[in-house]
Amino acid sequence: MSHHDQPDQAATLALWEADEARVRERLAAPGVSRLDQIAHLDGLGFFEAVSRGELPSIPIGMSMDFCAVHFEHGQAVFQGRPSNKFLNPMGTIHGGWMATLLDSAVACAIHTTLPVGVGYTTAELKISYVRALTPKVPLVRAIGQVINAGRKVGFAEGRLVGPDGKLYAHATTTCVVLQRD
């Protein structure tokens, strides 16, 4: 990377910080939504309601220091802070933290495509680690994108990237769509 790339990285980091601040100021306390709160919502509507603070925020995001910063049909973006509390014994961010962030992005990307009354569960998650991640990287984004969402199975892929555009890990998932009986 040349020194000419630094302003772009700084601008991206500032944008990501602003996105997270905007999201976090609206989030409700972590918790689990009741069925009567969500029964009328499709997948994207569920995440929009969480983002507006109308439903509890996602508990794992609090404990693992990440949050959703963007949803649209077929896409979910989560942002996390790789800090010392997620280090492995070798001094890099534990692969499980990276996998959790990617799992959230790819599974929720599929969730955004689901109609009212339909759920899903992850059947398979594959992670490929591209490079070590350290706390020197202030933020990362897991960007999940649907490949194909059918009535019975959904497929998505995701990329974990830093504000400089570097790829740290890649994931694919297969989710089983659960129809209401």
For the stretch 36-66, pLDDT in tens is 999 999 999 999 999 999 999 999 999 999 9
Residue 128 has a pLDDT of 98
> What pLDDT score was predicted for residue 1?
44
Separation between Cα atoms, residue 171 and residue 146, nearest integer Å: 12
pLDDT value for 121: 96
Confidence band, pLDDT 50/70/90 cuts, at residue 145: very high
Give kind and range of the element (H or E) at residue 126. Answer: strand 119-129
Instruction: List, for residues 11-26, the tens digit of each pLDDT value.
Output: 999 999 999 999 999 9
pLDDT one-digit tens code per residue, 66-117: 999 999 999 999 999 999 999 999 999 999 999 999 999 999 999 999 999 9
Neighbours of 102 (CB within 10 A): 31
Which overall architecture, per CATH, does domain 3-178 show? Roll (3.10)
- pLDDT tens-digit series, residues 153-170: 999 999 999 999 999 999
- The pLDDT assigned to 179 comes to 83
Q: What is the mean pLDDT of the chain?
A: 94
Residue type, 74: G
Contact criterion met (CB below 8 Å) for 112 and 47: yes
102: nearest Cα among 32, 148, 8, 169: 169
Handedness of CA 16, 19, 22, 23 (dihedral sign): negative
Q: With contact defined as beta carbons under 8 Å apart, do 113 and 81 qualify?
A: no
The residues, ordered by sequence, that sit 6+ positions from 57 with a Cβ below 8 Å of its Cβ are 27, 28, 29, 30, 31, 50, 67
Which residue ranges make up each domain of the chain? 3-178
